[in-house]
């Protein structure tokens, strides 16, 4: 008798499930509409990648500017004098 708890992988999709999903998509949209859907999906992914790379580029440009600003503010800060009475 096996007393160990069995772990089920509920979130994993196997080959049969993928095949069923593809079959349902083919039935709903038909053979002529699927290439158009994939084309639109590809354009959307391209736009997303372009937007992400643009944001990364802006962040990489801003980082040196921020470092220069903090270095300038530290060097231009007035020196504090202490009085010894």
- Domain locations in the chain as residue ranges: 46-71
CA 41, CA 23: separation in Å to the nearest integer?
Answer: 19
How many CA atoms within 13 Å lie on the side-chain side of 52? 6
Q: What are phi and psi of 52, to 5 degrees?
A: -65, -45
- Residue 52: the pLDDT is 93
The alpha helices in the chain, defined as continuous H runs, are: 15-75
Q: What is the pLDDT along the chain (85 residues), one digit of tens a residue?
A: 556 666 665 678 888 998 999 899 888 888 888 889 889 999 999 999 999 999 988 888 877 766 666 666 666 655 555 556 5
pTM for the complete prediction?
Answer: 0.46
Q: For 29, left (φ over 0), alpha (ψ -120 to 50), or beta?
A: alpha
Q: Which two tokens stand for residue 81?
A: 């004098």
């Amino acid at each position: 008798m096996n007393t160990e708890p069995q772990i089920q992988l509920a979130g994993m999709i196997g080959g049969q499930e993928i095949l069923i999903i593809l079959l349902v998509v083919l039935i709903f949209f038909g053979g002529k509409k699927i290439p158009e859907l994939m084309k639109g999906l590809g354009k959307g992914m391209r736009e997303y990648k372009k937007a992400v790379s643009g944001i990364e580029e802006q962040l990489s440009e801003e980082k040196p500017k921020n470092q220069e600003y903090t270095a300038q503010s530290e060097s231009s800060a007035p020196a504090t004098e202490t009085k010894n009475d």
